[in-house]
Amino acid sequence: MTYDTNNIFAKILRKEIPCIKVYEDEHTLAFMDIMPQAEGHTLVIPKEAAITIHDLSDDSAANLIIKVKLVAAAVKKGLNADGITLFQLNGEQAGQTVPHIHFHILPGSYLTAKAHAKINADTDSLEAIAEKIRKGF
């Protein structure tokens, strides 16, 4: 499958679509999921164009997991979460809804989370949660 440069995350990276950012560096962007499964649901994406982990360069994959660890710690601290769920889906058949590799960070348990990509959250409430996470860095 060829990378779709018009997927929503590619548009976010080009700043064509806004996001509620919690972290960014030259290789990585972390932002609030607009259809959160739990309060504080955060996405971490590489800036490299790749659909799945198998398409990602080794250097970008290594950097991505380091940044997932960093952002997950900020989510945990900023939201005073007892635990964190991390997951990453590869391909439509696995449930991947955006064809750009990304990690999900959920405070708490995935087992008690809402369904994936079903209900949009209020932007103001997402911004308030993002501010708590930013304070976790």
Active site residues: 102
Distance CA 53, CA 8 (A): 18
Distance CA 36, CA 23 (A): 17
3-state SS class at 99: coil
Which bin fits 60, alpha (ψ -120 to 50), beta or left (φ > 0)? alpha
